[in-house]
Amino acid sequence: QVRLVQSGPEVQRPRASVRVSCRASGYTFTDYYIHWVRQAPGQGLEWMGWIDPKSGGPNISRKFQDRVTMTRATSIGTAYLDMSRLGSDDTAIYFCARSQMATLSFDYWGQGTLVVVSS
Amino acid sequence: DIQLTQSPSFLSAPVGDRVTITCRASQGVNSYLAWYQQKPGKAPKLLIYAASTLQSGVSSRFSGSGSGTEFTLSISSLQPEDSATYYCQQLNTYPTTFGQGTRLEIE
């Protein structure tokens, strides 16, 4: 069955960086985009960007372009979200999700990774 | 960016009732609209895609309609497990955006 399994919770200091991973299984990794969506405590959903695992090409929201990198390791079916210069407003749950095309909905989601930014 | 406005923001209804949630887009999104259900501490779950197509495995009590700028999600014969927050999402224009959510409470 399709599964997206994310890395564990993180606590980081302000201005630090964090990496969240998303390991896919149960389908052909390169056939689906991987998106990253975050949710601040008690708030709604915010799309951060996608990566096309086939080409490695990302499409990152303008809001995050200067401090977010999205990469993948096709040999192990894993996508990565790297975010630098963390601030307290980056405290959120970070989800990965897949879609078969950019215009198609997100049919499977990871379980979420809590990132807390605190001094 | 396209803004999605959901109404109402909160809804309370008894078991067995039918409810409707509306999602309005600030500009047309054709039929590239999805609905998700999210329960506390869980990832969102896809309910409806392409405005009106039921995702495999989702109860037929859920239905979606609309195109352009106005869309609805209806839930019939409410069950206790329908208590959740519901989000719409447009995928017509990137960045894809979500509505602010509608919290549904089952009385």
Q: Given pLDDT bands bounded at 50, 70 and 90, which one contains residue A103?
A: confident
DSSP conformation letters of A82-116 = EE-S--GGG-EEEEEEEESSTTS---EE---EEEE
State whether A61 and B95 contact (CB < 8 Å). Answer: yes
Residues A27-69 have pLDDT tens digits of: 999 999 999 999 999 999 999 999 999 999 999 999 999 999 9
Residue B100 has pLDDT above 80, yes or no: yes
* Best to test chain B binding among A45, A50, A96, A111 (most B CBs inside 10 Å): A45
Q: Which residue of A has its CA nearest to B29?
A: A103
Q: Which residue of B has its CA nearest to A5?
A: B43
Residue A102 has pLDDT above 80, yes or no: no
Q: Map residue A31 onto helix, strand or coil.
A: helix
Residues B20-57 have pLDDT tens digits of: 999 999 999 999 999 999 999 999 999 999 999 999 99
- From the CB of residue A15, how many other CB atoms can be counted at a distance below 10 Å? 11
